Amino acid sequence: MAGNRAVAYQGPGVVEVVDTAYPTFELQDGPGVNPANVGRKLPHAAILKVVTTNICGSDQHMVRGRTTAPAGLILGHEITGEVVEVGPGVEFIKSGDVVSVPFNISCGRCTNCKKQRTEICLNVNPDRPGSAYGYVDMGGWVGGQAEYVLVPYADWNLLKFPDRDQALEKILDLTMLSDIFPTGFHGAVSAGVGPGSSVYVAGAGPVGIAAAVGAQLLGAAAVIVADMNADRLAQAASFGCETIDVSQEDPRQGIARILGREEVDAGVDAVGFEARGHGHGAQEAPATVLNTLMDITEAGGALGIPGLYVTGDPGGIDEAAKVGSLSLRLGLGWAKALSFTTGQCPVMKYHRRLMEAILHDRVRIADAVHATAISLEDAPKGYAEFDAGVARKFVIDPHGVTGKVAPL
């Protein structure tokens, strides 16, 4: 049997590449696996040789120790791979197919899946609706920052690329379909972005950049990206976004400078629960982004909130924040009749059309997020650099398939 290597969270600030089990068609016990899932038979699954798997800001929350993730958890929910084996219950996916894996694990059978709400599938996580690979409190499905990974409900979950050679040529773009591109696009869609819109995107990390690209794809007239990181703001400006450095400029003043008015049509939170306040030397203030968006979004507008918020944060600034309770100006949001969309992105709602946009050269998401291929062994360095705020999206290539791996 083949071996397997993977990236494991070992404690706050520590990730290591470890030897781990090769996947089988049964969910084994391990760090983070819900006891009710142990021994679950998976005849509907496929085993993938991982082509690319990305480091995500959501992974970084765990690695910083800001969740209740257990030591030894195999990380990675952004997965693109080649099918090497299928279970007896798989009918349409075949060995050799190159596929994108939505980070949401879903069954395709429950009432939520049938309503395209694959982010809150009822059958894959005994703890609560919704699941993901390699993530805390998501049922214990093993992560894909590895050489090989198992994907359940393969016929349902996997997006097959129509042409293998074309897919490998565009792999650094297509790898973004597993999470950040649909997630950012979902943030823009749920904020009501359309032709001629003005949109404020809080956060210039990869998801914020993807939201900005998504807003442009939807026809926004002005996409304003706000952050405190000069390199990330420069990355946003490189493909036509306006920018506000909120360590130096008040958001309303920045919007007025750009638009001639102090409010936008739509707001996107691509920061989440580790948000900081505004101004020079601002400290963590987790409600800042949501309160700002309520302030600067016009009455009757909408907020898309793909930024992650959690129910358990050991590093929260106070007891309320540790359980996900924030001091929101809900009265302001109510008075302005604002709409809010929270939760995981239902990736399958968007990924096929976004794939077509990539394949037909309508969008270059890899360039926008500065995709950078690295080896599996360099993953710990990638986490460290990402945590330091580099304007890159690190793409782990365990088998050297991209031909673009560079040492860190």
What number of H helices and E strands is found in the chain? 14, 16
141, two tokens? 């499905």
- The band of 97, judged by pLDDT with boundaries at 50, 70 and 90, is very high
Strand partners, 48: 83, 149
**CA distances from residue 156 to 35, 44, 95, 403 in whole angstroms, order as listed:** 25, 9, 16, 30
In terms of Cβ atoms closer than 10 Å to its own Cβ (0-12, 13-18, 19+), residue 3 is exposed
Delineate the domains of the chain, giving CATH numbers in brackets.
5-179+346-396 (3.90.180.10), 183-341 (3.40.50.720)
Alpha helices, DSSP H, located in 132-250: 154-157, 164-169, 171-174, 180-190, 206-217, 230-237
- Residue 360's pLDDT is 97
- 230 burial via Cβ count (<10 Å: 0-12, 13-18, 19+): middle
The pLDDT assigned to 81 comes to 98
> 324: which 2 tokens?
């996900």
Q: Residue 325 has what pLDDT?
A: 94
Task: Evaluate if residue 68 carries a pLDDT over 60.
Answer: yes
What is the distance between the alpha carbons of residues 363 and 376, in angstroms, rounded to a whole number? Answer: 27
Residues 109-133: what's their mean pLDDT?
96
- The percentage of residues in the chain with a pLDDT greater than 90, rounded to a whole number, is 97
* Position 314 pLDDT exceeds 80: yes
Task: Give the pLDDT confidence of 259-301 residue by residue, as tens digits.
Answer: 999 999 999 999 999 999 999 889 999 999 999 999 999 999 9
Question: What share of the chain in percent tops pLDDT 70?
Answer: 100
Q: How many CB atoms lie within 10 A of CB 91?
A: 10
What pLDDT, on a 0 to 100 scale, did the predictor assign at position 404?
A: 95
pLDDT band at 2 (very low <50, low <70, confident <90, very high): confident
Q: Given this model, what pLDDT does residue 1 score?
A: 52
Average confidence (pLDDT) over 45-62: 96
Q: One-letter amino acid identity for 104?
A: N
Q: Give the full edge-to-edge strand order of the sheet including 297-304.
A: 242-245, 222-227, 198-202, 264-269, 297-304, 339-341
One-letter identity of residue 79: I
Amino acid identity at 270: A
Comparing CA positions, the residue from 123, 85, 83 lying closest to residue 104 is 123
For 222-252, how does the pLDDT look when each residue is reduced to its tens digit (9 = 90+)? 999 999 999 999 999 999 999 999 999 999 9
CA dist 248 and 321 (Å) reads 26
Structure tokens at 213: 């690209």
